[in-house]
Amino acid sequence: MQEACVNKYAGSLRFVKELAPMVSDPTRQVTLISLFRRTAQLMVAELVDRLVAAGYPDVPAATHPVFENLDRDGTRLTDLAARADMTHQSMGELVERLEHRGYVERRPDPDDGRARLVCLTAKGRQAVRVALREIGAIEADWTQAWEAAGLRSDLRTALEHALAETKTLQASPAQPRRTTARATQNARPPQA
């Protein structure tokens, strides 16, 4: 157990060490985008480590877009792909992996007998409960770090307002997002 903690800390420390030269090197221009990306990488790595420690070693970061975009009552594969801005084929491969591992299952859509919904299994709901608890702890730790570094406002609220204002969730300036009416209408996190 102690070794797992050391490895987890060392893994996070590796990311921090990579970030330090990036920020302090005067020849490199560090963009806000790169800082957000590094922060997200650290947060996701911490979540994966915590899920492994909690008994979920088979839920790598690559599968997280499935969980992040599932509705409580299930979601069509097309809508999952659109919300994650992934191809249908790529999302299908992730769903198939999670299906084989027992986290999700496909059920007939009660609104359209030809369609199928991707739904959490009991194991998937338990994993989501654990993940949400761990995400809360990770976000609290990062909030403390941001406040200690001088942030004086609620970053979550600021990001939510900025995203809503720019309508980034609906369309990207470079390429329209592949969303359907159902995908945007029902976009809410699964409830454990």
Domain chopping of the chain, boundaries: 2-185
Copy the structure tokens of residue 148: 């200690």
Give the CA dihedral 93, 96, 97, 98, nearest 10 degrees.
Answer: 120
Give residue-wise pLDDT tens across range 115-129: 999 999 999 999 999
**Predicted pLDDT of residue 75:** 97
Letter for the amino acid at 112? D
Domain 2-185 falls in which CATH fold? Answer: Arc Repressor Mutant, subunit A (1.10.10)
| CA–CA dist 132, 25 (Å, integer) | 36
pTM given for the model: 0.72
**Predicted pLDDT of residue 127:** 97
Copy the structure tokens of residue 126: 């338990």
**Please, what's the b/e burial string for 12-25 (b: 16 or more CB within 10 A of its CB; e: otherwise)?**
eeeeeeebeeeeee
**Predicted pLDDT of residue 181:** 43
| CA–CA dist 25, 51 (Å, integer) | 34
- The DSSP code sequence of 98-148 is HHHTTSEEEEEETTEEEEEEEEE-HHHHHHHHHHHHHHHHHHHHHHHHHHH
Give residue-wise pLDDT tens across range 140-153: 999 999 999 999 88
Query: Which segments in the chain show pLDDT lower than 50?
Result: 1-15, 17, 168-169, 173-174, 176-187
